[in-house]
Structure 1
Amino acid sequence: MTMKPPIGRDTRLCMSLSARPGNFGSRFHNRLYELRGLDYVYKSFSTRDLPGAVGGIRALAIRGCAISMPFKEAVIPLLDGLAGSAAAIDSVNTIVNDDGVLTGYNTDYAAVVALIADIDPATRFVLRGSGGMAKAVAAALRDSGFRDGTIVARNAGAGQALAALYGFGWAAAVTEGAPLLINVTPIGMTGGNEDELPFSADAIAACDIAFDVVQYPPETRFLQAARAAGKRVITGTEVATLQALEQFILYTGVRPTAAEVAQAAEFARG
């Protein structure tokens, strides 16, 4: 392991913007900087002034910024351009600053594609949510060959638009289960309605796979119920690890080893 240089004038700063900042990203990235001896530091922030925060990224030469709820769509007009899947799904979770030019990426999409790669695309699903992360998940499902699914969203305009964009059905409320249940809402998140379930106990008992993008807590009530029923689960921590790895590569140009990623993820969960 190469010794990480002490923080100085040449240290590059990366950051995150979220309504509810957590520690996972900071701990994951900073641990990888240590393991690879990189002169970087990572810090999480929240803001009530998104234009000011993005202006700061540009003005202070901050190398990269992770974007979380509720900024994934609102940040787009503030950027100079979009790359790849961010342009396709109109949702950004990563900003890369190249000499003052800010480009938006979406590494959530790549993470979800990887996590559902071994699921039969003929599997019927119900996805609850209609925000920026829901766009990434729906796009990943569509591009992975899934065709039989329902988007559940109380916001009729957003839900119907998302369903129509990717060729899925829409419902205002969960009225049926499916072999694959996906929660892409804040239901179950720490500090909010963490005691609620996004799907009924009967639907969870009848499903085959439970997928929850909520990262905090690592084991939501939804995942706990699914595990107790013997179901396969896909966790928000898995999504967070894979998407953060892609961000790390975008920011630094360095691809860590699988062992380093596993060590950083374990450290971040601690």
Structure 2
Amino acid sequence: MPTKPPIAKPPIGRDTQLCMSLSGRPGNAGSRLHNRLYELLGLDYVYKSFTTRDLAAAIGGIRALGIRGCAISMPFKEDVIPLLDTIEASAAAIDSVNTIVNDDGVLSGHNTDYTAVRDLVAARGLDPAMPFLLRGSGGMAKAVTAALRDSGFAHGTIIARNAQAGQALAAQYGYEWRADLPETGAALLVNVTPLGMEGADAEALAYPPDFIADCRAAFDVVAQPARTPFIRAAEAAGKTAISGAEVIVLQAVEQFVLYTGIRPDAAAIADAASFAHGPQVGELMSAIMQGKGQ
């Protein structure tokens, strides 16, 4: 996937804009993607990932230090809301923030997860007639559930051991709720939990092998690693498999636009996706961006 040679990027100095991410389990993929785009476009920005044990202090630091933008990941997407000055419609609709933009000390909360999932569902041709199971009930689960509902998926079940959160999420979007997995699966299986994520849950399979064997499509929002045990099992069974790396690239591009005011072209996005997540994801992003007319 050829790209134009990178534009000369200014050396880091006092005018360099800093962007960052806050996550319970920070990785390198987001930093690699954003910094690659800065390099390709010659922008005087730097991106760094962080975690924190003091969310309020971290958000105060964003404001006080003039950090331009911050990506918010699990488990902070809901807890961050009262710490911000304004909440944009994209985040207010689902009570979940995954992006902070700092405009001269005024912090606004946005959500680019919803748009990314909605666009990905369409780009990968998922049939909205398929019933689905969705594991999870947190901020990202809200974004995915809303995107599925707005994409025409009428029949689904939220699987969440947190009864209060699971029931509320299911009721909000007109789906069923269960605390545990049913005896049989569904045509579309969606994982919005840390199962399969790098760390303590790395070897966990989000759904039983018989569920995967009987499904038509598997969708995992875990991005680190891109190919979780769930995704690998679905690919081995010949199913449509959508990885969290695809979601994170699409939502990161929208964050990039919010931070810089610049929308990269399809070639730059594919290049950065390949640099951050590997050539398979880069090729998928190239096809998706071309399908969107970018």
Please state which band the TM-score falls in when normalised by the shorter chain.
over 0.9
Matched, 1:80 2:88: no
The AA in structure 2 aligned to 1:194 is: A
The CA deviation string for residues 137-156 of structure 1, in whole angstroms up to 9 with x for no partner, is 00101111111000000111
Counterpart position of 1:204: 212
Q: Which runs of 5+ in 1 are unaligned?
A: none
Map 1:250-265 → 2, pairs under 5 A: 250-265=258-273
Please state how far the C-alpha of 1:120 moved relative to its aligned partner.
Answer: 2.1
Please state how far the C-alpha of 1:2 moved relative to its aligned partner.
Answer: 2.0
Q: What is the TM-score with the length of structure 1 in the denominator?
A: 0.98
Contact 1:72 1:91 in 2 (8 A): yes
Counterpart position of 2:3: none
Aligned residue among 136, 150, 155 for 2:162: 155
Matched, 1:112 2:140: no
Counterpart position of 1:225: 233
Secondary structure in structure 2 of the residue aligned to 1:73: coil
The AA in structure 2 aligned to 1:116 is: V
Q: In the aligned structure 2, how far is the partner of 1:258 from the partner of 1:202? A: 38
The AA in structure 2 aligned to 1:36 is: L
The AA in structure 2 aligned to 1:78 is: L
Counterpart position of 2:32: 27
Contact 1:186 1:192 in 2 (8 A): no
Percentage of identical aligned residues: 70
The number of residue pairs the alignment matches comes to 270
Q: Please list every run of at least 4 consecutive aligned residues from structure 1 whose deviation after the TM superposition is greater than 2 angstroms.
A: none
Counterpart position of 2:151: 144
The AA in structure 2 aligned to 1:2 is: I
Matched, 1:241 2:253: no
Aligned residue among 89, 102, 106 for 2:107: 102
The AA in structure 2 aligned to 1:161 is: A
The AA in structure 2 aligned to 1:41 is: V
Q: What is the TM-score with the length of structure 2 in the denominator?
A: 0.90
The AA in structure 2 aligned to 1:237 is: A
Counterpart position of 2:133: 126
The CA deviation string for residues 93-126 of structure 1, in whole angstroms up to 9 with x for no partner, is 0000111111111111111001111322221100
Q: Which runs of 5+ in 2 are unaligned?
A: 1-5, 279-294
Secondary structure in structure 2 of the residue aligned to 1:89: coil
